Structure 1
Amino acid sequence: MSGLWSWFFTPPPPPHRQTDLRYVKDYKPHTKNQQLRILLHGPAGAGKSSFINSVQSVVRGRMYTHALADNTFATETSTDSFTRKYQTFKIQKGNPGTFYPFVFSDIMGLEPTNGVLVDDVILAMKGHVKDGYRFDLESKLSEHDGFYNRSPNLNDQVHVLVCVVPASTIDHMSEEVVKKIRDIRKEASDLGIPQVALITKVDLACPEVNTNLKNIYKNKSMKDKFSANVGIPMNCIFPVKNYHEETDLVDDVDSLILNAMRHIINMGDDCINFRSQSEGSGRNV
């Protein structure tokens, strides 16, 4: 077993799939017509789009591929981002035209040279980037561009920032990418946006986990190392396995995804409530 997986401890109780599923499905912001915006960022090929598809599959009870994902992620050889545009994904709830009150914003991957600019991620967090904007590798979105949102409302702004990182790259992530993650995290903190990290592809990083996904609860070292590198607290880091080759849902996979989503929703909801109160009192956040 590699050093990444060498420190074991007494595992916590596994997440309760049905309880978390009901929580995610029943979530409603306190403010009418409010939506919780979740911004995913991380290295190219980390599984951002696949996580969106996985959440949609779990809550809808069958496999979905709404957010297009690059199939090279399984081999982890891709160095270019498959996602090029700023895209918002909603999940249908019941009848067509009705959606869950949380949305995902997907962006280009963070790479040392050919990735999304930190300035564009910051603009997206503030709600200034409109859907469909194609990221420019040389310069950030201009205020004069038609995709620049001059007057973002509370629904346009990001309420929780999620950093998605593959388990196998934690030990050798480039300094440039780590710096980008730190810079984005610092700006998010200044904006009052809570942050979560998802460690993906846990099954590909460890044979024991690949054999039995419950073994993920025995591991602490990868969370500890990533937390030390980028500063995200341990209790805000969640290992997950996205759906990619399965044709049917698996309870253990669902449990990891739903446990992460429950915490993401809680943090985002706290952000929404704080901003709503601040706007009501005339404060700018």
Structure 2
Amino acid sequence: MTFLQKLGFWRKKERKEPEAQLLSKPWREINWRDKQSALQSVKNYKPKTDGQQLRILLHGPVGAGKSSFINSVQSVLQGRMYIQALVENMSHDYFTITYTTYNIPKDPETFYPFVLSDIMGLGPTGVQVDDVKLAMMGKVKEGYRFNRDSRLSEDDAFYNNHPTDNDKVHVLVCVIDAYTLPFMKQEVQEKICQIRIEATHLNIPQVAIFTKIDDVSPEIKDNLQNVYKVNYLKERMEQFSVNVGIPMNCIFPVKNYHEEIDLNSDVDSLILSALKHIINLGDNCINFHKSQSCAMSCQSMNM
């Protein structure tokens, strides 16, 4: 038996899920028949200030699916399979090691007014909380190579001393593997909590994305529309909410595109549902900071 075969055997034996109990009605409603309205809402989004970008920062444990979520979002908005963020399927080590931002083309000459930023995965030796905080503050330049042993210093060439509004993060997204969540190491959960506290101090809203939901139960794998009927998944989301403090209405289950070669309407619907709420929260953050800046300017003028 090869190593990979043994690994697969262990996963099946060790992580066998209990039979799911389907609720009589979904606990959250999704309009599966009309993904176009959600798609159009995302396509129509435009910040109030010209030139403003909404920055979405993704973080989470190694292998949770951050890069796959970025590719899935781009695929839905492009209307075809789109792979820009590289994904590692063989290694459980840190694959994303640099600060990388992805712009999404809207047409041949323009981009959507929101960007997705990716960082090194969390772990006992992963990205440091201080570096995530600096990224949220807009003080990490594109291409910075994260160091597991030390944070970005102010004298580093990749330290941004004068971040603009576009450099700062407007919504923080924690990407979680729903299947392996019960086996998450305590150190990783503590990092998630610490990062959430730092984001709260910066008035940045936080969202959690649950990926690989089709691995949680065969009912979801057979029919994605069962996602809000599987009580077992709901209980995992509720426990995560209690553990890290992200409210349930800010936690969204999605299925990333992984082995498919064509788009699927149900997969798109879940991704768009999450993305629409992420954008709304990020826009609220932009407007809040704009109003705070205006208030401070007015106070300075009146002094």
Q: Secondary structure at the match of 2:37?
A: helix
Change (3 A) 1:277 1:253: same
C-alpha contact (below 8 Å) 2:54/2:166 kept by paired residues: yes
Q: What is the CA deviation profile of residues 206-259 of structure 1, one whole-angstrom value per residue up to 9, with x for unaligned ones?
A: 111111111111132121111111110000000000001110000000000000
| Equivalence for 1:225 | 239
Residue of structure 1 aligned with 2:30, choices 14, 21, 34: 14
Please, what is the CA RMSD of the aligned residues?
Answer: 1.6
| Equivalence for 1:33 | 51
Q: Secondary structure at the match of 2:207?
A: strand
**Separation in 2 of the partners of 1:249 and 1:182?**
35
Q: What is the CA deviation profile of residues 62-101 of structure 1, one whole-angstrom value per residue up to 9, with x for unaligned ones?
A: 01111111123xxxxx4312101000000001113x1000
| Equivalence for 1:75 | none
Change (3 A) 1:141 1:5: farther
Q: Runs of 5+ in structure 1 lacking a partner?
A: 73-77
| Equivalence for 2:286 | 272
Change (3 A) 1:149 1:5: farther
Q: Secondary structure at the match of 1:90?
A: strand
Q: Runs of 5+ in structure 2 lacking a partner?
A: 1-15, 298-303
Report how far residue 6 of structure 1 moved. Answer: 5.0
| Equivalence for 1:205 | 216
**Separation in 2 of the partners of 1:40 and 1:4?**
32
**Separation in 1 of the partners of 2:19 and 2:252?**
16
C-alpha contact (below 8 Å) 1:128/1:149 kept by paired residues: yes
**Separation in 2 of the partners of 1:140 and 1:249?**
40
Identity of aligned residues (%): 59
Report how far residue 5 of structure 1 moved. Answer: 4.8
| Equivalence for 2:265 | 251
| Equivalence for 1:2 | 17
Residue of structure 2 aligned with 1:119, choices 116, 130, 148: 130
| Equivalence for 1:237 | 251
Change (3 A) 1:4 1:171: farther
Q: What is the CA deviation profile of residues 123-148 of structure 1, one whole-angstrom value per residue up to 9, with x for unaligned ones?
A: 00000000000001110000000000
Residue of structure 1 aligned with 2:172, choices 134, 151, 161: 161
C-alpha contact (below 8 Å) 1:159/1:193 kept by paired residues: yes
The amino acid that maps onto 2:92 is: T
Stretches of 4+ aligned residues off by more than 3 angstroms: 3-9
Equivalent residues in 2 for 1:143-222 (5 A)?
143-219=154-230, 220-222=234-236
| Equivalence for 1:102 | 114
C-alpha contact (below 8 Å) 1:44/1:80 kept by paired residues: yes
| Equivalence for 1:63 | 81
Residue of structure 2 aligned with 1:86, choices 89, 99, 105: 99
Report how far residue 153 of structure 1 moved. Answer: 1.1
**Separation in 2 of the partners of 1:190 and 1:9?**
41
Q: How many residues align?
A: 277
| Equivalence for 1:46 | 64
Report how far residue 197 of structure 1 moved. Answer: 0.1
Q: Secondary structure at the match of 2:261?
A: coil
**Separation in 2 of the partners of 1:162 and 1:197?**
5
C-alpha contact (below 8 Å) 1:4/1:221 kept by paired residues: no
Q: TM-score, normalised by structure 1?
A: 0.94
C-alpha contact (below 8 Å) 1:35/1:155 kept by paired residues: yes
The amino acid that maps onto 2:218 is: P
The structure with the larger Rg is 2
**Separation in 2 of the partners of 1:131 and 1:8?**
45
Q: Secondary structure at the match of 2:40?
A: helix
The amino acid that maps onto 2:212 is: K
C-alpha contact (below 8 Å) 2:54/2:282 kept by paired residues: yes
C-alpha contact (below 8 Å) 1:4/1:222 kept by paired residues: no
Report how far residue 7 of structure 1 moved. Answer: 7.5
